[in-house]
Structure 1
């Protein structure tokens, strides 16, 4: 049984590449590392599924993979609303609450961003108008897993060319 990253790595070395098999029983923060080991073996749609699960599953996903790795994987599957490949909006006003404005997770829901601001001692709230070319994905139903729009809503952005300002 695969229970952690080391077990998954051993299974991968033995030839296992099924995302479901490798991740069924592991902790959520192991998902990004497992993804990097098997992303090469996935179709675009399989990668889109695994990418969403790893991104929304991990607590602070940028702490587990380099930003360039995340951006590369998101760009390889194209802009997605949940699992559907769609055209991104031309631009969208987004908010981010926390301690660092230069991260990839943003939301259009100001109240949700305020909750994240208040979650961290010294947290702040930022806003930015983000162009479609800097949007990597939009996930709704985050943490509920059902994609219905209930739960958190999250835009994944490439923060390199955005200009956050205090909200």
Structure 2
């Protein structure tokens, strides 16, 4: 047994099933008549692949919408090809889906992450949202931390709304940034009483839900 990219236990059998499902969905996506159809059919690990395939044929006005769609469908987009994601966001230029606006001044952003991946693209202006992302994987409490940094407005590529994954189905605003432009120090956030209380409550909720949760890695 091992941990997959999502932090969920993945057995050899589950891994085989996941690969079969990815192959099946890729075959369907290849027959799609539009970029949106391809993204809807594709496995989350193939979102960037099909977005790049269709990109030259997508009109400029539709690129932000489809870029967000592929980004959100990917679940862990930066694990695939962070450099390519950045290039697509920069090609489109800054945009928002209406859930926020580009900061006019430097802004403090937070991220729940393993130390190895603390310099990445996805951030939030809310430390509690960072806590959600720290805990969304079963092993997050042991391996992840909450980080913060100061970001310049020109380093923000997009501001979009999102919905947290199991078990925290909460709404949040995501700041997508170019990690190469994070010039300020990225520091670990000390756990204050509020964050500690929330962490404990969320841990209890996770432990209560885990026995009845079915693995669905496909």
- Tell me the TM-score normalized by structure 2: 0.63
Map of 1:82 onto structure 2: 97
- Note the C-alpha offset of 1:136: 0.6
Determine if the alignment matches structure 1 residue 4 to structure 2 residue 25. Answer: yes
Does the 8 Å contact 1:98/1:118 carry over to 2? no
Q: Could you state the TM-score of these two structures normalised by the residue count of structure 1?
A: 0.80
Which of these residues, 163, 172, 178, is aligned with residue 152 of structure 1? 172
Check if 1:34 corresponds to 2:55: no
Distance 2:61 2:98 in 1: 8
| 1:101 corresponds to 2:112 | no
Aligned partners of 1:7, 1:143: CA distance in 2, in Å? 26
1:136 aligned residue (157, 177, 186): 157
* Counterpart Cα distance in 1 of 2:48 and 2:123: 19
Structure with the higher fraction of residues in helix conformation: 2
Question: For 1:24, what is the secondary structure of its paired residue?
Answer: helix
What residue ranges of structure 1 are gaps of 5+ in the alignment?
145-149
Q: In the alignment, what sits opposite 1:166?
A: 188
SS in 2 for 1:160: helix
**Deviation (angstroms), 1:27:** 3.2
CA distance in 1, matches of 2:127, 2:91: 29
In the alignment, which residue of structure 2 is the partner of 1:118?
A: 135
Report if aligned partners of 1:127, 1:164 keep a CA contact under 8 Å in 2: yes
Q: Say what the alpha-carbon RMSD is for the aligned residues.
A: 2.4
Distance across 1 between alignment mates of 2:98 and 2:91 = 13
Cα deviations by residue, 1:50-94 (Å, 9 ceiling, x for unpaired): 110111221110112x2221111101111111279x755332110
Q: Which ranges of 4 or more aligned residues in structure 1 deviate by more than 4 Å?
A: none
1:50 & 1:83 partners in 2: Cα distance? 15
CA distance in 2, matches of 1:55, 1:81: 14
Residue aligning to 1:147: none
**SS across alignment from 1:126:** strand
Q: Which structure has the greater CA radius of gyration?
A: 2
| 2:112 aligned with 1:92 | no
- 1:88-111: CA deviations, max 9, x gaps? 533211000110211110001110
Q: Secondary structure at the match of 1:4?
A: helix
Structure 2 alignment gaps of length 5 or more? 1-23, 165-169, 190-218
